[in-house]
């Protein structure tokens, strides 16, 4: 490739150290599709004759078939996917094939290849996200009327609908979906024609290749285009936040599945046992999912650190950018292969969950808000209810077992209409503020989220229409 300048062959160890085939060969079909667009543009502008452009495109398609069939074996000596394909093209059509690379650098070529590859990957990831959120919506509908304890500081706080719990996680993943489509927008730009860094003296038509590849626009500055990896960072940032949300959901279910809580039931098919303890049923799938956030965070930090302080424009440090990216994509596909199915199989033991309500103290806020409606300033109400909580603890009495006389001895403002309100179900049902935990509010959230999902899915379908076939 550069034998005109160099008098020595590349050292074999250097070849192995600098090759990128272990990362980029999987993008070979995307690379060929980018080359086909480039060739069509060269023919369109007259830089290639009609016959030359036809011969090159025909042989690129032949190479694509060889890759699909596994008959083209890449050579490490050719360093990367781009040179392996170009070398094979020259084998097939001689000096005509050697014209492929005019007006193009591997800097804009590789950038294009990864963007083409990423667009399809991100839409596949959307399918997984859609499946996950849809599974949560079905669970939320199933458990809109199911009462369980809600927690702050891992201490019982207020009664909630289990549907509200599922929707809390659905909303987090819905934000992730928005970030996923934002990342897609960042990827959906055409770098072809930027060259090594400064564009080209040849009459290239960047808009032509942009249209042929279905990109939404061309990039705006040739130096910035080959230097930055912001679009990678956008994908990795989405993945890191998504991983954190997966980790939180997994941790919640692990806690509620534990013997001490015991109100989440996991199917045997998503658990494992112990090599020594016969009684064990371990939530290994959830634990592995919880751990994936470390991998996803690490990939983002890897690329953030790699790109810090690199001067304009392209530097070889960036060769490894794909390693973090591909590892992240693989991790995401793994998560989506198990998490939606696991959610669909989770069962809730409401009776076991309600055992935690026995002392009734989870209803203390309801009493304070009742007093507010009786005209008691909230801070005074808070103090009064705090004293009744202490009374219950000192006398080993559930809050719900107190007689009206006991209430009025401690809080004179209490009337008989308080007693019927003191049940976890009534508490949950009465929390009817917008976005609250009442069944009607949970169902409204389900409906609104379903609408958002349909909008995202429509957007994904439109993106798919713009992606050309052939890779």
Catalytic center residues: 153, 274
Residue ranges of alpha helices (H) inside 275-434 are 284-307, 321-345, 350-354, 364-373, 378-394, 404-410, 424-430
Following DSSP, what letter does each residue of 242-293 receive, concatenated? HHHHHHHHHHHHHHHHSTTT--EE--GGG-B--SS-TT--B-HHHHHHHHHH
Whether the ω angle into residue 313 lies within 30 degrees of 0, i.e. cis, is: yes
The pair phi, psi for residue 265, each rounded to 5°, is: -110, 125
Cα–Cα distances (Å) from 423 to 80, 349, 400, in that order, read 67, 18, 7
Q: Which residue has the tokens 């989405």?
A: 238
Contact 322, 24 (CB under 8 A): yes
How many Cα neighbours within 13 Å face the side chain of 259? 4
Backbone angles phi, psi at 191, to 5 degrees: -90, -15
CB 381 within 8 A of CB 411: no
What is the phi/psi pair of residue 160, to 5°?
Answer: -135, 165
Q: Identify the residue whose tokens are 């550069």.
A: 2
Q: What DSSP character marks residue 218?
A: E
Find out whether 190 and 217 touch, Cβ atoms under 8 Å.
yes
Contact 81, 113 (CB under 8 A): yes
Contacting residues for 389 by C-beta, under 8 A, at least 6 apart: 361, 364, 399
CA distances for 236 relative to 299, 318, 328, 334, angstroms = 7, 15, 7, 16
Q: Which of 185, 177, 282, 289 is nearest to 231 (CA)?
A: 185
202/222 Cα distance (integer angstroms): 15
Is 58 within 8 Å of 464 (Cβ atoms)? no
348 beta partners:
264
Tokens 């953030």 map to which residue? 304
Rounded CA gap, 149 and 438, in Å? 14
């Amino acid at each position: 490739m550069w034998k005109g300048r160099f008098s020595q062959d590349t050292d074999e160890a250097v070849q192995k150290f600098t090759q990128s085939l272990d990362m980029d060969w999987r993008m070979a079909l995307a690379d060929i599709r980018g080359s086909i667009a480039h060739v069509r543009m060269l023919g369109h502008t007259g830089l290639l004759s009609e016959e030359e452009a036809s011969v090159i495109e025909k042989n690129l398609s032949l190479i694509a078939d060889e890759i699909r069939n596994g008959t083209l074996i890449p050579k490490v000596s050719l360093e990367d996917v781009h040179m392996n394909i170009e070398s094979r093209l020259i084998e097939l059509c001689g000096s005509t094939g050697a014209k492929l690379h005019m007006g193009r650098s591997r800097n804009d070529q590789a950038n294009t290849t990864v963007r083409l590859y990423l667009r399809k990957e991100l839409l596949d990831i959307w399918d997984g996200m859609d499946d996950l959120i849809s599974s949560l919506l079905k669970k939320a509908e199933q458990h809109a009327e199911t009462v369980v304890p809600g927690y702050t500081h891992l201490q019982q706080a207020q009664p909630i609908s289990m549907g509200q719990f599922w929707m809390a996680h659905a909303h987090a993943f819905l934000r992730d979906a928005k970030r996923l489509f934002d990342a897609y927008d960042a990827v959906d730009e055409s770098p072809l024609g930027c060259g090594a860094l400064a564009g080209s003296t040849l009459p290239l038509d960047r808009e032509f290749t942009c249209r042929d590849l279905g990109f939404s626009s061309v990039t705006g500055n040739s130096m910035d285009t080959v230097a930055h990896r912001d679009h990678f960072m956008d994908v990795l940032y989405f993945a890191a936040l998504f991983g954190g949300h997966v980790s939180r959901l997994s941790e919640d279910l692990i806690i509620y599945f534990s013997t001490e809580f015991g109100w989440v039931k996991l199917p045997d098919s998503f658990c494992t046992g112990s090599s020594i303890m016969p009684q064990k049923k371990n939530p290994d799938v959830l634990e592995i999912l919880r751990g994936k956030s470390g991998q996803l965070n690490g990939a983002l930090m890897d690329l953030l650190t790699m790109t810090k302080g690199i001067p304009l424009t392209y530097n070889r440090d960036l060769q490894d950018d794909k390693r973090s990216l591909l590892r992240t994509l693989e991790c995401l596909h793994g998560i989506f292969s198990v998490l939606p199915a696991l959610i669909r199989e989770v069962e809730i033991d409401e009776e076991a969950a309600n055992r935690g309500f026995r002392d009734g103290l989870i209803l203390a806020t309801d009493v304070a808000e009742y007093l507010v409606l009786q005209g008691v300033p909230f801070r005074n109400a808070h103090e009064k209810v705090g004293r009744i909580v202490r009374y219950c603890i000192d006398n080993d009495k559930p809050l719900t077992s107190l007689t009206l006389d006991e209430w009025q001895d401690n809080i004179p403002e209490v009337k008989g209409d308080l007693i019927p309100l003191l049940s976890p179900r009534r508490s949950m049902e009465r929390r009817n503020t917008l976005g609250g935990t009442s069944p009607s509010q949970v169902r409204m959230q389900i409906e609104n989220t379903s609408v958002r999902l349909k909008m995202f899915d429509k957007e994904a379908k439109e993106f798919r229409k713009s992606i050309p076939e052939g890779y």
